[in-house]
Amino acid sequence: MKLPDIVVLDEKDKRLREKSTEVFFPLSKEDKKMIQDMIDYLTLSQIEEERVKYDLRAGMGLSAVQVGVLKRIFVIVEEVEPGKFKNYIVINPKILSYSEEEIYVGEGEGCLSINREVEGIVPRRARITVEAYDMEGKKYQIRVREDISIAFQHEIDHLNGILFIDRIDPKNPYKNQEKMREI
């Protein structure tokens, strides 16, 4: 697998603050290629020797807006065991339900578009149920939990022009930490 020719936008790019538009089916060849390129990029970023070779930051999710395309598409690449990956392709997602329980990433949430250290925690739901479409335009529902739930919420935020840093209280970056579970 070679490094795809995509550029991840930096947080200073105003497109990251725009709301992405619904996708219509069938997908164009360009959209299908973009989805595959995002999957390849994320996969390479999680394989240490490839990450070093291409000077990548590790990432598990990318939304289309992060590569300059304002469409409601994101992908998650989860390493389920060393060298084995599960891909989630999510188009036109809608959160149908979520748990009351809130969680946060202990070492802090990260984003391939934010190239700096960020202090604070991002409250997320421990479990969510999402309705979305696959690449063929077939509707499906998925219930995700823990780190994958966080990744889904993070990417859905991107589709709405929201960055994770917007969800950190600037006056109290660890606000309500004791009411949430660390993962």
Residues annotated as catalytic (active site), given as ranges: 155
DSSP-derived secondary structure letter, 159? H
Residues 69 and 143: their CA atoms lie apart, in Å, by: 26
Q: Which residue type does 108 have?
A: G
What backbone torsions phi and psi does residue 95 show, to the nearest 5 degrees? -80, 120
36: three-class secondary structure by DSSP = helix
Query: Which residue bears the tokens 């390479």?
Result: 44
Q: How far is CA 142 from CA 63, 98, 114, 117, in A?
A: 18, 12, 28, 32
Angle at 138 between CA 9 and CA 149, to 5 degrees: 50
Helices (H), the chain: 29-46, 48-54, 146-159
